A = this chain, B = another copy of it.
Amino acid sequence: MLNISHLNATQSDTYQHLDTPFLCVNKQTFLKNLDHLRTRTEALGASLRPHFKTVRAAEALQYLLTDKSSPITVSTVKEAEALMDAGYTDVIYAVGISAAKLPRIKKLLNRGQNIRVLADTPEQAEQVNRFCEENHCSVPVLLEVDCDGHRGGVRPKDPKLIEIAQALHSGAADFKGVLAHAGESYHCLTTETLREAAANEVRAVLEAVTRLQAANIPCEIVSTGSTPTAHHYENLQGVTEVRAGVYGFFDLVMTGIGICDLNQIAATVVATVIGHNHEKGWVFVDAGWMALSGDRGTAKQPHDCGYGLVSDEAGQLLEGMQVSTVNQEHGIITMTNGRTLEPENFPVGSRLNILPNHACATAAMHSQYHVFDTQAETHEVWNRIQGW
């Protein structure tokens, strides 16, 4: 039985007076999740470069990172700018660069941020080189390596690997190394396949590094990672750093893959019951896709959780209940295990907790986190950095 300990926060006045829906973080669980992966990664001799895209709140940086020179990953220039404002300087912008974004990158470099961009096409290499020539600067670039056919990147054996790296290395840009993301690992369901996905991700970047070194192109950064593989590396020799994003909050998708237990999920949405359909056994809550997101990440997993599982205010998982339908500001909770839902057990005005499918997507629907540390009896508000 899940007991989400942070729901002890329900005893606090602050918690009770917050209007629903709101995004609630269990600080102890969050910190434990962060510590676990950092310890694991460092024990394997690599450093952890958390992906800021999940949390996107300056107030959380003190927990995510050791100090202002600690490595961090971003998915938008906006995040990098917010990091610079807060004094954080070691950044990888891990989405393929387009020339139009380079002036903002140059400004960050000028302000002292060591930000690297990502490329995986000769066109991008050419555009970055040209920008650097025309603007008398040197933008650091990583080359994305495709380890599993998931999305972008250049395969280690592809002649373009050397071509792009060489263009950057000998051009006005500053070639810094390689980066891989095992996106296919999100489809793994067993420890064995996860370990294999993790080993394969490492093999791919190391093969790329070997080929580049043979062409006299050094790789200062050798970066791998996804939350599933990050928890399953057994050997990181040759890899300088590991990236992961959702590991701080975790979610039902990660539970479905087997990366975490339900009680490691640190971010949930608190909702209020606003009605019933007695005939159909439905309970309506004031959390629709606007609060939960429309993410259906568990749809293709063995345990489809709809738009989220449900616990009561005391933190007990309500077995068989899930949010089955979402409209903008309505969630419809039903039973999925054939048992009858007793709406009278969930009176209008009572509160329920929704465990999200995908923490990145759910958090993105909110402008603030309400972070409760029930041991220290503290409440923090973290403000999300929005936009691009």
Q: Which A positions have Cβ atoms within 8 angstroms of B? A: 19-22, 53, 75-77, 95-101, 104, 120-121, 123-124, 127, 151-152, 183, 272-277, 284, 286, 289-291, 293-296, 327-330, 332, 347-349, 360-361, 364-368, 386-388
Residue contact A274 to B19, C-beta cutoff 8 Å: no
> Per DSSP, are chain A's interface residues mostly helix, strand or loop, or mixed?
loop
Residue contact A19 to B95, C-beta cutoff 8 Å: no
Residue contact A387 to B366, C-beta cutoff 8 Å: yes
Interface centre among A76, A104, A296, A328 (most CB of B within 10 A): A328
Contact A98:B273 (CB < 8 A) given known A104-B19, A360-B328, A365-B364: yes
CB-defined A-B contacts under 8 Å, sample of 25: A19-B100, A19-B388, A20-B100, A21-B388, A53-B329, A75-B328, A76-B329, A95-B274, A95-B330, A96-B275, A98-B273, A98-B348, A100-B272, A120-B275, A121-B276, A123-B348, A124-B274, A151-B277, A151-B327, A151-B330, A152-B275, A291-B388, A296-B296, A328-B361, A364-B365
Residue contact A388 to B20, C-beta cutoff 8 Å: yes
Contact A274:B98 (CB < 8 A) given known A75-B329, A388-B20: yes
Residues of B within 8 A of A127 (CB): 348-349
A293 to B332, CA, bound (A): 20
- Determine how close the nearest CB of chain B comes to the CB of A181; give it in whole angstroms: 10
Residues of B within 8 A of A22 (CB): 388
Residues of B within 8 A of A364 (CB): 290, 365
A11 to B367, CA, bound (A): 34
Residue contact A289 to B295, C-beta cutoff 8 Å: yes
Residue contact A101 to B360, C-beta cutoff 8 Å: no
A20 to B349, CA, bound (A): 42
